[in-house]
Chains A and B, each alone.
Chain A
Amino acid sequence: MSENNNEWKCPKCGVMNSYGNFCGECGEPKVIAASFAPKPAAAAAPEPSPAPVPAPVAAPAPSQPSGNNPSANKETPEDKKAAEKLCIISLICMYAGPAVFGAMFYGLESLGESLGSEVVQYLALIPGILYCASWVAAIVLMIMARVKYPKNTFAKVLMWIYIGQAILSVIAVILFVILCAASVSYCVNSGW
């Protein structure tokens, strides 16, 4: 067995050790890869190892965001900030976006009609698409915030606002149908 196989770098202080299971400089245990193969005798530490299992490579950073670990118990400040960012962008997409794109749509539509230009009327469809995309983006961002940061209150509140909104919209549409739209044809298509 060559000596190189016994060399290892201490994860704590970075010193190269040529033998043993504990760093000669700082005493940090060597990380041993999981293996059931018997180790050569030269790799055994001269002193008895106090701990049966070596410590992990590095302790987690004190304020590691739990965005990758949604089951973490506490919400860190980084999590809160990231979740709030997602929620604010979601709110903008839900309300400001449609307002802007709706205004653009009506503006272009009216302009197109007054100019008699079909091209402008076609252009008006682009803000129409963006209007819908904006709403979809708002929902997606809210879901992302809820999935990644389940402890965040802002995201939870936003979710309930959107659910309430969806229910109210369905009720509003049903009421519209019952009260006003006696002759509205919903299936405005010939098959598709």
Chain B
Amino acid sequence: MGRYTYGLIIILSLLSGTLSASLLQSLYKVKRQTIFYTAFLDLFATGMCSMLLVFLRTLGKGYGFSGLGAAFGLMLGNCISVYIHNDKPGVVFSSWVVSAPLMYSISKMACFSSGCCAGDAFGLPVQPVMSAVFFIVYVISLIAFFIVKDKMKACALSMVLSFIARFGMDFFHYSHAGKILSTEQILVLVAGGIALVLYALRSKLPLPREL
């Protein structure tokens, strides 16, 4: 069971995220066509970019998955989808970003099963702790999604909490030993900075209305 567990849990994480995002969209009366094609493109782009990042990092020699690549792919698929459909773009975009911590939470259990991304968080293995932390981020973002009128605020909250959690939890990884800031943390800061700037400027960008 061991060697299949990673792949099965990754598939489970993608399916859970898709289910979460699709349910949120259908609750807010997004058209079924939009839900389906957004999910199709997002899943495809997530998988592709996740593998592409590993491909680039290993100079074309490695095959594997990367969380940061997956996040980039999800954003890419999302941005393209809201332009194509222009059907409640705020709800569609935000539902996927709010569901992303759930996907990451489940995928951390895949890391736990294969022994990678290891570390020590107060005597506990860091992967299940990260899984729990990101699940809490998901729940908070979900509550915000239902409460706020402008769904992009829930999207921003989800991103901010995810970036803070990812940055903070990195200190517990074995790979962080001997460093002040790891490469992963720098990437989180860069990605977070870019996301923050784009969010702040969103009314000035050529976005579909309502975003």
Contact = CB atoms under 8 A, between A and B. Distances in A.
Interface of A: 105, 109, 121-122, 124-125, 128-129, 132, 135-136, 139-140, 143-144, 146-147, 163, 166, 170, 173-174, 177-178, 181-182, 184-192
Interface residues of B, number: 47
A187 B56 contact: no
Interface of B: 3-4, 6-7, 10-11, 33, 37, 40-41, 44-45, 48-49, 52-60, 62-68, 76, 80-81, 84-85, 110-111, 114, 116-117, 170, 173, 175, 182-184, 187
15 contacts: A129-B56, A135-B48, A136-B45, A140-B84, A147-B37, A186-B6, A188-B64, A188-B66, A189-B116, A190-B117, A191-B173, A191-B175, A192-B53, A192-B66, A192-B184
Contact of B182 (A135, A147, A182, A191): A191
A186 B40 contact: no
Nearest to B119: A191
A178 B41 CA distance: 27
A188 B58 contact: yes
A2 to B, nearest CB: 39
Q: Which 3 A-B pairs have the closest CB atoms?
A: A188-B64, A187-B116, A190-B175
Given A186-B114, A187-B111, A192-B66, 14 more contacts: A122-B59, A128-B56, A135-B44, A177-B3, A186-B6, A186-B7, A187-B116, A188-B65, A189-B54, A189-B65, A189-B66, A190-B117, A191-B67, A191-B117
B114 A121 contact: no
B56 to A, nearest CB: 6
B84 A121 contact: no
B52 A144 contact: no
Given A186-B65, A190-B175, A192-B184, A143 B84 contact: yes
A139 B77 CA distance: 10
A140 B79 CA distance: 11
Which of the listed residues B41, B58, B173 has the most CB atoms from chain A within 10 Å of its own CB? B41
Q: Is the interface of A mostly helix, strand, loop or mixed?
A: helix
The B contact surface, by secondary structure, is helix
Contacts of A122: 59
Most buried by B among A125, A174, A186, A190: A186
Contacts of A188: 54, 58, 62-66
A157 to B, nearest CB: 16
A143 B37 contact: yes
Contacts of B37: 143, 146-147
Nearest to A109: B60
Contacts of B68: 192
Given A146-B37, A186-B65, A188-B63, A136 B44 contact: yes
